[in-house]
Structure 1
């Protein structure tokens, strides 16, 4: 992953050493250098690496320093575990950070997952085009497609680069994920990272049909089945704890994102959905979508026995006037507690939930409601 070619001053013998290296291998190279010349300082003649720009950062390496060789070994071990895409990202991350020593190189290598590579974007012009396409996908009114022939993409790209940093590489544009608001759109309900053979992009859902078609064009695919979903995230609190990411497809994710957006208009509806997820514990993404589409089959209540008792009375025909009349003469809490058992109500961290079509089983119900007795 990293190879040093070393010699001793006064000798023409050059000895290679490949990292990661064992202590015996390092000692063996030291012996070869000693045989060539026991006097003089060890010099690095050449450095090679699978990370094209790494040798320039290692120009000040002291091959006689045990500490630096140990750090170089650590860095090489990290790089050895990277795939080709991560190596490209690391190269860009090096250029996009202030690198002063091996500690900085190791730190950036350990944080490579915090960066994203936008393939084939390696100039202000191509970055400007990417910003315009991504902005249109996200509904940014500054970049309508009809205006593209008149846009100064180089200026758009240069301004974006100046504001967000990062670095151009032969493979594409590398920057921290948190610095790209086009990728980390805070208003999204579900976010997908997609990769195809031609491109990589992040999609903030919900999206319109037209926006999804633009995303396909960006990826260079006819259908989303030709792309791979590499990451699924949920900006809405608690969703990631209760929605599994098994079997996700773009179409289902978009449908669920539209449903969640509708629920957020009424905070109580969002809590109802979270309660359903907590009680039902879906095993697949499709099951989570099913529950979102069938919320009418559930009733959600605050964790209040008295309020539930009054709800039971209303369910059998009592109006508020009757309930007010008997208030003080009836134990609403006891009625609520008993009714919860009969109705199969579950307690969740988001409130109480009841399934109308078929009550939750008593066996599980007993575990959920134990704290109420």
Structure 2
């Protein structure tokens, strides 16, 4: 909760105003000073209680008698309330890292937290330098590492990249290469838990996939691990319907999940590919996410059938060399639908809720078929 302390210069007493506040609540708070023979128009913000450290120094100039400023303060308070602990730490560090010139800049910053990264528990040049060496960002032979000037290494990086040491760690703005494209969807979200996450965050860390190699390295740094195998995946969420029901969520590997997310992203860019993948999953029934990734990589071995038995019968003949002229000549003398129905069974075509699907290399086993051909 964000709370303003209102008073006048030189006064020993003041009144608290919880945000967000209605115009009536603001008026009531200011009217309190009238009972002390203090002009309410002299009332100003003299302090702030907030989860965001030093927020008061950035908003103390706001005018509590301005309905416009109160509306902005309310938006700010609501934004802070919706932040998790990691986002609050980023916000606090970003305030110190940027040149803030008034309330508008503070409110605007709440909508751009994704432009920043935080390296938790790093509060000095020395700690930053040690982190850069330990993670391999600055590559030094292990034999010389005990003799390195970590403070100088961290100070050099700080000078080049800017940022600030906030209450939750080192915060800096992402470079242009680190910016996640706005159009990229969160296709898989993994909720990760580590000792550092448990100690510094209110909830598991959310890893958004697909991600670049650099984004994955940054995530490792933020949760305090060298390898994702050191983290516990407590939950996986999928950004497309039906995937959660068709992809197993036991024994998930972060790297496989990222490759799968990249594959799904490519599928969404080609008409019918995601439906084909869903149909494949429903028939193949993968036992692990690694199996699901394998089916995604082998998707060209499957064909999604969008035609009925009549058209399928004709396509079978085309596979054997018949051209359109021959098919036209045969029309009326051959039951294409019957041929199509028999060929679907022979080809192992399966009926799924996502449409008909067949495996091109080796047909699905006949003994497990559940497809109903009638009425096609």
Give the TM-score range, shorter chain: 0.5 to 0.7
Conservation of the 8 A alpha-carbon contact between 2:251 and 2:288: no
Cα drift, residue 55 of structure 1: 0.8
The corresponding residue for 1:198 is 196
The corresponding residue for 2:278 is 278
Alpha-carbon RMSD? 5.6
Conservation of the 8 A alpha-carbon contact between 1:192 and 1:203: yes
Cα drift, residue 44 of structure 1: 3.5
Counterpart CA distance in 2 for 1:169 and 1:8 is 30
Conservation of the 8 A alpha-carbon contact between 1:166 and 1:176: yes
Counterpart CA distance in 1 for 2:151 and 2:38 is 57
Query: Given the alignment of the two structures, is residue 354 of structure 1 paired with residue 351 of structure 2, yes or no?
Result: no
Three-state SS of the structure 2 residue aligned to 1:198 is helix
Three-state SS of the structure 1 residue aligned to 2:94 is helix
Distance 1:314 1:10, change over 3 A: closer
22-31 or 275-284, which moves further after superposition?
Answer: 275-284
Distance 1:87 1:205, change over 3 A: closer
Conservation of the 8 A alpha-carbon contact between 1:275 and 1:353: no
The corresponding residue for 2:97 is 96
The corresponding residue for 2:142 is 146
The Cα offsets for residues 213-233 of structure 1, whole Å up to 9 and x where unpaired, read as xx69x7369994763467779
Three-state SS of the structure 2 residue aligned to 1:67 is helix
TM-score by length of 2: 0.62
The corresponding residue for 1:3 is 3
Query: Given the alignment of the two structures, is residue 47 of structure 1 paired with residue 28 of structure 2, yes or no?
Result: no
Count of aligned pairs? 337
Cα drift, residue 98 of structure 1: 3.6
Three-state SS of the structure 1 residue aligned to 2:196 is coil
Query: Given the alignment of the two structures, is residue 168 of structure 1 paired with residue 173 of structure 2, yes or no?
Result: no
The corresponding residue for 2:200 is none
Three-state SS of the structure 2 residue aligned to 1:88 is helix
Counterpart CA distance in 2 for 1:94 and 1:47 is 15
Distance 1:152 1:249, change over 3 A: farther
Counterpart CA distance in 2 for 1:96 and 1:231 is 33
Three-state SS of the structure 2 residue aligned to 1:63 is coil
Counterpart CA distance in 2 for 1:110 and 1:153 is 34
Conservation of the 8 A alpha-carbon contact between 2:192 and 2:231: no
Query: Given the alignment of the two structures, is residue 106 of structure 1 paired with residue 107 of structure 2, yes or no?
Result: yes
Conservation of the 8 A alpha-carbon contact between 2:316 and 2:340: no
Cα drift, residue 328 of structure 1: 5.5
Query: Given the alignment of the two structures, is residue 20 of structure 1 paired with residue 16 of structure 2, yes or no?
Result: no
Cα drift, residue 73 of structure 1: 2.3
Counterpart CA distance in 1 for 2:149 and 2:241 is 44
Unaligned segments of structure 1, at least 5 residues = 137-141, 234-238
Conservation of the 8 A alpha-carbon contact between 2:237 and 2:244: no
Conservation of the 8 A alpha-carbon contact between 1:309 and 1:337: yes
The Cα offsets for residues 317-361 of structure 1, whole Å up to 9 and x where unpaired, read as x7xxxx48x895456996996677444267999x99513224775
1:279-318 to 2 correspondences below 5 Å:
279-280=279-280, 288-293=289-294, 299-301=301-303, 312=316
Distance 1:275 1:176, change over 3 A: farther
Counterpart CA distance in 2 for 1:135 and 1:100 is 37
The Cα offsets for residues 213-260 of structure 1, whole Å up to 9 and x where unpaired, read as xx69x7369994763467779xxxxx9677549764675343466789
1:200-349 to 2 correspondences below 5 Å:
219=224, 224=229, 227-228=232-233, 243-244=243-244, 248=249, 251-255=252-256, 276-280=276-280, 288-293=289-294, 299-301=301-303, 312=316, 323=321, 329-330=326-327, 341-342=344-345, 343-344=348-349
The Cα offsets for residues 168-223 of structure 1, whole Å up to 9 and x where unpaired, read as 21321224567674999x9xx988674412257969999xxxx99xx69x736999
